[in-house]
Amino acid sequence: MKYCALLLALLVAPALLPPEALRAHDNYDPNEPRWSFAIHGGAGTIARENMTAEQDAEYRAALQSALDAGTAILTAGGSAMDAVLAAIVLLEDDPKFNAGRGAVFTWEGENELDAALMDGRDRSAGAVTGVKSIRNPILLAREVMKDGRHVFLSGSGAEEFASQRGLETAPPEWFATEGRREALERLKNEKLSARDVDVKFGTVGAVALDLEGNMVAGTSTGGLTGKRWGRIGDVPVIGAGTYADNRDCAVSATGQGEYFIRAVVGYSICSRLSHKWRAEAAEAEAAVPRDSQGNPTYAVHASELWLEEEDVQAVADAVMADVKDLGGTGGVIVVSPFGPAIFSFNTPGMYRGRATSAGVNEVAIYGDE
């Protein structure tokens, strides 16, 4: 569905508002197809003084590669689904991030992987948790979604399903890295918490809006260092760490999953955006002059109403403030039907990147960028 058709589905009335009743917007054509894309590689205590110039460059290059992979697909008219998968597969294979290869260790010294994917067209979704041998968990989430019988698979059952679908597996040594093993040992030896050793949450994710107006969100993680008892975070929980609905937005989160679950972060952002848009539509409709019979002289047309980037940012910031009030830290990436891609995080830094059909293309790490 084209972007214009997406908004027309929310039609309030068939005609246009008079120019004076509309908010002033420059260089915007509601009929122009647009795409936007955002990625993240985790948020946390990420400071310049703790990064060498070489590490900084390596992270930026990895983020740019993932961003470019999705951007190339969207620029060519490809789907949001393909763009999200292309970026996340690259990040899962990169040991710098806590997803796939490079995942953190559980208390028992294993790598347990979670992932989720959601399609905003029909809100179909697939999620997996606690898998240990699937090279790219996001591709398994995609297979769960395609199969359609279930949304959420776990552990050995998810592994069995993956075998039936012919997904690529990898041995334990593929996922394990020395840095992650040292973090587990330090946590145990010094009696620390996961929060003490996971100073940055390396969860990876991507969200996309394509030229057809479709939105997709995907997220993949290894969870928390030293996690126990089959702990599941927000990433594979639809509505918490991953959510997409063409009517509102697509969200991927990273951070302390327990708090993101409690705040239902992904759904909360989309729901608040929906409420804000409808409130503006009602306000515009109320501003239309009436004739002597009390009938409106103009009708509000949904395709002439939209939210600005700062509106979307304010909603995401409000939800992340709620997470902070609960005691949690982390961040989100968001795209909406209105075009821009935004970030919101309550940590010193966040590995992130975004690109849009309006010409934005950037990656960043620190909070002051």
Count other C-beta atoms under 10 Å from residue 155's C-beta.
14
Whole-number Å distance between alpha carbons of 78 and 35: 10
What region, left, alpha or beta, does residue 170 occupy, with left being phi > 0 and alpha being psi -120 to 50 degrees?
beta
Whole-number Å distance between alpha carbons of 152 and 157: 10
How would you write 13-25 as a 3-class SS string? CCCCCCHHHCCCC
Q: How far is CA 286 from CA 30, 113, 210, 305, in A?
A: 22, 51, 33, 14
The answer to whether the Cα torsion of 260, 263, 268, 272 is positive or negative is negative
Q: Cα(first)–Cα(last) distance of the chain, in Å?
A: 35
Helices vs strands, H then E, count in the chain: 11, 13
β-bridge mates for residue 115, sequence order: 128, 220
Decide if 246 contacts 121 (C-beta within 8 A). Answer: yes
Q: Beta strand 152-154 with 124-131: parallel, antiparallel or unpaired?
A: parallel
- Which residues are known to be catalytic? 203
Find the Cα–Cα–Cα–Cα dihedral 228, 233, 236, 240, rounded to 10°.
160
Q: How far is CA 2 from CA 121, 246, 276, 337, 346, in A?
A: 12, 11, 22, 10, 34
